[in-house]
């Protein structure tokens, strides 16, 4: 139903400084450089209208409890709407009482380290893994052991081998459309890894930022949220890649016993929920189906961009090997061993292009001949042009 | 300037569930109980209109960069407007480059512990201190040493004595209208403590949640933000007590060398700024002077509530000694030594009243005959009635 609303309101104009010398966004790219390394969505895909309508709804009601200290587990309306939406997206029942609203996955990882580990504790990660998660673990002085992966994700035999001598607090996994590799952990391996977590009593922390971003008709295996009854799983979701990163909003899905450890922390007791205002502002966007519509739009667009990047790579960089991703954000290119991608990057600015070298994602200073490219940030012509520039840069070596 | 705006817009109605079984706010008080222990502002003082107007301004512009990963130090517009506003409120020049936007003081303390300490490190706190800050420190497994205070705040001689044998990472202080005591650290002691911080190389973490909430004409000593050039000070501010807690927004003021340690952390590198969306939504409320007007309103109201509580205490609880607070949130009552306030609290629910026992704020299991009362949450009649109920409860012992 749509209707015409006529508003008569007194508005007090707010004057903002016309010019602001201080930055707003995290990454400033020189306008003539194509940075295929960036892992951000472009501004054109951040749905201001949807968020505006949703926020307007809550702000214009005569009710302001979302301005008070929020409940530790997060806004009840948002959790109820999110549980409904995830139940559809994940194709299994997600319950609001198993959701805990966070200020994004990075925030959840930081809290997890604070509450579940001490300096010197061992944790396990995939080799390669998301380099900024590795930075968070380093800030907490954790002992990080990398576990081998292949095109089907983490190798359970390698994990079992490590567990013979290590007692990790948790295993950090990006199971679906992994960052950086784009690979997806197979269903069979998910179950094997869960059995190992039960046997060796560690938690699987599944960073599922890309779980809903499958670009082909074929869906990835179910979210690790399907296994929370084991009490060995924390599945981390985020609005950053399916709505907007600036919201700093995400969720944990876990057994109540695990969520209670977060809810009863000093931080939560003192500050209340992690983001009540933004949660309330998004209630409508989730409850109305606007979030799902946005995800649908992203899937179509990203499928097209994957095809464009695939074609550009075939045309300009035939020496790069890769497995075509079916979702997420990234292509993971393997070059002949002689190519040191970190060295290549030093020349890249001369060619007005950038990318991320594989070594950045390695806990063992390996992956030197790998390169991560992101297909979501640029339009088709720029993707093609960026890949071409990388080829020219490579040929100049 | 005000003008009449007529809006013709197509609105897509967003349907929210009519009833929601899940909580939104942190604290649920039975309707017939008066909880004078609560440290929240009441809903009636959370300025929805101001926040609505401010958020509406940014959401209705054709610019959405605040939805992107934000710059690590926080939204440039908000920092510029906040620097201007604080310069007026603090009566010294505050520079935007020395401000770092946080998700509230609890969040800042948690980050500080993660980045500046390891489990087992020593920190110093006031005795008594804010009990939930103590919980955050406990979650980080810190060794907490309490330092004596009196009616002029932390006792420098006591601090110097402790420093003879301890090497703390930081000293956590609530220098102005302290929680729970309501006391304010004198100017002379501020300078003495700063000299000790320089000599012994530790950081003063000043939690200044109440700095701007002086209720009398007499202003408290300057914010510790005046001493950031020493590189030994982090002054923490918050919008929770001067605007609304649900925003989860605050700031750190410190030397650039200290702020860079936060900005270069894994968490900030990964997630970007801590709350870009809410920061943008509040730009207008700060830049327009709306924040200052709101603080002015709170000061008048709280001055009245202090007078009401003072009178009620004189009338009903003459056995309680206290120093009249000139701002902040709290009265700190000292009862005769025989009165165990924690024991008293066990009976309080029978009398439909509540408060916080002093022992909660002690790192030494002392302060058993003290009680914290908050004067901001209730209307005058309820303050009077609450104090009366405490007196009846006490007389029943």
DSSP A64-103: -GGGSPBPTT--HHHHHHHHHHHHHHHTS---GGGEEEES
Per-residue confidence band for A11, with pLDDT thresholds at 50, 70 and 90: very low
Q: What is the mean pLDDT of residues B33-38?
A: 96
Does A93 lie in the same domain as A77?
Answer: yes
Pair B283, B369 in one domain: no
Which of chain A's residues have a Cβ under 8 Å away from the Cβ of B26?
68-72, 272-273
Pick from A260, A275, A290: which residue ends a domain? A290
Beta strands in A175-286 (DSSP E): 203-207, 233-238, 250-254
Q: Please state whether beta strands B356-357 and B370-374 pair in parallel, antiparallel, or not at all (unpaired).
A: antiparallel
B272 touches A at CB < 8 Å: yes
Indicate the average pLDDT of chain A.
94
- Of A256, A290, A324, the residue that ends a domain is A290
Q: Give the pLDDT band (50/70/90) at residue A29.
A: confident
Pair B100, B228 in one domain: yes
Among the partner-chain residues A56, A57, A67, the one whose CB lies closest to the CB of B244 is A67
Predicted local distance difference test score (pLDDT) of residue A20 = 57
**Residues in chain A within 8 Å Cβ distance of B174:** none
* Residue A380 Cα to chain centre, angstroms: 23
Q: For residue A152, tell me if it sits in a domain.
A: yes
Same-domain pairing of A265 and A130: yes
Are B263 and B380 within one domain? no
- For residue B80, the enclosing domain spans 50-290
Q: Does A278 touch chain B (CB under 8 A)?
A: yes
A284 CB near a chain B CB, below 8 Å? Answer: yes
The CA-atom distances, in angstroms, between B54 and each of A67, A288, A375 are: 14, 24, 35
CATH code (residue A347): 3.90.1150.10
pLDDT at residue B29, rounded to an integer: 85
CATH for A128: 3.40.640.10
Which of the 8 DSSP states describes residue B141? T
Are residue B163 and residue B178 in the same domain, yes or no? yes
Instruction: Tell whether ipTM is more than 0.90.
Output: yes
**Chain A positions in Cβ-Cβ contact with residue B1 (cut-off 8 Å):** 13
Question: B10 and A16: CB-CB below 8 Å?
Answer: no
pLDDT of residue A281: 98
Same domain for B177 and B313 = no
Give B55's contacts in chain A (Cβ within 8 Å). Answer: 55, 59, 281
Smallest Cβ distance to A55: which of B4, B8, B55? B55
Return the pLDDT at A10.
Answer: 41
- pLDDT one-digit tens code per residue, A72-121: 999 999 999 999 999 999 999 999 999 999 999 999 999 999 999 999 99
Q: How many residues does chain B have?
A: 397
Residues of chain B contacting A81 with CB distance shorter than 8 Å:
16-17
User: What pLDDT digit, counting tens, does each position of B65-95 carry?
Assistant: 999 999 999 999 999 999 999 999 999 999 9
Query: Mean of the pLDDT values across residues A250-260?
Result: 98
| B contacts of A12 (beta carbons < 8 Å) | 2, 53, 288
* Domains in chain B, number: 2
CB spacing of A267 vs B54 below 8 angstroms: no
Task: Note the pLDDT tens digit of each residue in A109-137.
Answer: 999 999 999 999 999 999 999 999 999 99
Check whether A8 has a pLDDT greater than 80.
no
Q: Within this chain, do residues B252 and B392 fall inside the same structural domain, yes or no?
A: no
In this predicted model, which residue has the larger pLDDT, B112 or B216?
A: B112
Angle CA B246–B174–B193, to nearest 5: 150
Name the minimum distance, in Å, from the CA of A314 to any CA of chain B: 31
Which of A207, A300, A241, A297 has the alpha carbon at shortest distance from A40? A241
Instruction: Report CA A231 to chain centroid distance, whole Å.
Output: 23
Q: What is the pLDDT confidence band of residue B270, given thresholds at 50, 70 and 90?
A: confident
Q: Maximum CA pair distance of chain B?
A: 71
Does the residue A112 lie in any domain?
yes
Q: CB of B274 within 8 Å of any CB in chain A?
A: yes
Tokens matching residue B243 = 């605007």
A11 assigned to some structural domain = no
Exposed (0-12), middle (13-18) or buried (19+): which is A394, by Cβ within 10 Å? buried
Tell which of B1, B26, B120, B125 to mutate to test the A interface (max A CBs under 10 Å): B26
Scan residues 51-110 of B and list those with Cβ closer than 8 Å to A: 51-57, 59-60, 64-72, 75-77, 79-81, 96-97, 103-107, 109-110
CB contact under 8 A, B68 and A26: yes
Residues 6+ apart with CB under 8 A from B351: B389, B390, B392, B393, B396
Q: Is residue A271 part of a domain?
A: yes
Q: Which of A97, A132, A248 sits opposite B269 (nearest CB)?
A: A132
- The answer to whether position A128 is within a domain reads yes
Inter-axis angle of helices A187-200 and A156-163, nearest 10: 10
Q: Is B48 on the interface with A (CB under 8 A)?
A: yes
Chain A residues within an 8 Å CB radius of B14? 53-54, 57, 284-285, 287-288, 290
Contacts of A71 in chain B (CB under 8 A): 22-26
- Identify the weakest region by mean pLDDT among A18-32, A240-254, B114-128: A18-32
CA A103 vs. chain centroid, Å, equals 12
Instruction: Tell me how close the Cα of B177 comes to any Cα of chain A, in angstroms.
Output: 18
Quick one: A268 and A321 in the same domain? no
Same domain, A247 and A341: no
Report residue A245 as tokens. Answer: 């990163």
Q: Does residue B306 lie within any of the structural domains?
A: yes
Angle B276-287/B48-59 helices, nearest 10 degrees? 110
Contact residues on chain A for B119, CB-CB shorter than 8 A: 118-119
Shortest CA gap A87–chain B (Å): 17
Closest Cβ–Cβ partner in B23, B60, B67 for A46:
B67
pLDDT at B16: 46
Same domain? B349 vs B272: no
Question: Are A278 and B277 inside 8 Å of each other by CB?
Answer: yes
Domain boundary among B244, B268, B290: B290
Instruction: Establish if A343 touches chain B: CB-CB under 8 angstroms.
Output: no
- B73 CA to chain A: closest CA distance, Å? 9
Average pLDDT over residues B138-163: 98
Does one domain contain both B179 and B165? yes
Interval A324-348: pLDDT, tens? 999 999 999 999 999 999 999 999 9
> Is the CB of A26 less than 8 angstroms away from the CB of B64?
no
Domain for residue A24, yes or no?
Answer: no
Q: Which long-range contacts (CB under 8 A, 24 or more apart) does B359-365 make?
A: B360/B131, B361/B128, B361/B129, B361/B130, B361/B131, B361/B134, B361/B179, B361/B180, B362/B127, B362/B128, B362/B146, B363/B125, B363/B127, B363/B128, B363/B129, B363/B134, B363/B144, B363/B145, B363/B146, B364/B127, B364/B146
Within a domain: residue A164?
yes
User: Residue A397 is encoded by which pair of tokens?
Assistant: 């070596």
- Segment A270-297, tens digit of pLDDT: 889 999 999 999 999 999 999 999 999 9
């Amino acid at each position: 139903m749509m209707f015409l609303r006529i508003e008569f309101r007194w508005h007090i104009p707010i004057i903002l400084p016309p010019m602001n010398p201080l930055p707003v966004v995290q990454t400033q790219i020189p306008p003539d450089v194509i940075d295929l390394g960036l892992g951000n969505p472009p501004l054109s895909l951040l749905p201001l209208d949807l968020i505006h309508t949703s926020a307007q709804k809550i702000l214009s009601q005569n009710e302001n409890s979302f301005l008070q200290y929020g409940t530790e587990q997060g806004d009840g309306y948002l959790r109820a709407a999110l549980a409904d939406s995830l139940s559809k997206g994940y194709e299994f029942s997600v319950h609001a009482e198993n959701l805990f609203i966070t200020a994004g996955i990075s925030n959840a990882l930081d809290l997890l380290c604070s509450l579940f580990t001490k300096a010197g504790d061992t944790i396990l990660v995939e080799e390669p893994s998301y380099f900024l998660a590795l930075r968070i673990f380093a800030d907490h002085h954790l002992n990080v052991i990398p576990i081998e992966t292949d095109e089907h994700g983490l190798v359970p035999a390698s994990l079992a081998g490590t567990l013979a001598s290590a007692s990790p607090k948790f295993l950090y996994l990006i199971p679906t459309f992994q960052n950086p590799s784009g690979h997806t952990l197979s269903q069979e391996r998910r179950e094997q890894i869960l059995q190992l977590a039960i046997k060796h009593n560690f938690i699987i922390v599944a960073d599922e930022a890309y779980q809903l971003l499958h670009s082909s008709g074929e869906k990835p295996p179910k979210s690790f949220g399907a296994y929370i009854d084991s009490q060995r799983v924390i599945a981390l979701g985020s609005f950053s890649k399916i709505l907007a990163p600036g919201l700093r909003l995400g969720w944990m899905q876990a057994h109540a016993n695990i969520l209670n450890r977060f809810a009863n922390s000093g931080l939560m007791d003192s500050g209340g929920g992690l983001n009540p205002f933004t949660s309330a502002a998004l209630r409508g966007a989730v409850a109305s189906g606007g979030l799902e519509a946005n995800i649908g739009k992203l899937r179509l667009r990203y499928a097209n961009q994957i095809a464009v990047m695939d074609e550009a790579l075939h045309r300009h960089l035939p020496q790069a090997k890769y497995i075509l991703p079916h979702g997420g954000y990234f292509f993971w290119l393997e070059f002949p061993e002689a190519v040191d991608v970190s060295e290549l990057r030093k020349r890249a600015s001369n060619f007005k292009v950038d990318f991320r070298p594989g070594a950045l994602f390695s806990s063992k200073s390996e992956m030197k001949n790998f390169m991560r490219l992101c297909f979501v940030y640029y339009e088709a012509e720029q993707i093609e042009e960026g890949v071409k520039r990388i080829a020219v840069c490579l040929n100049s070596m």
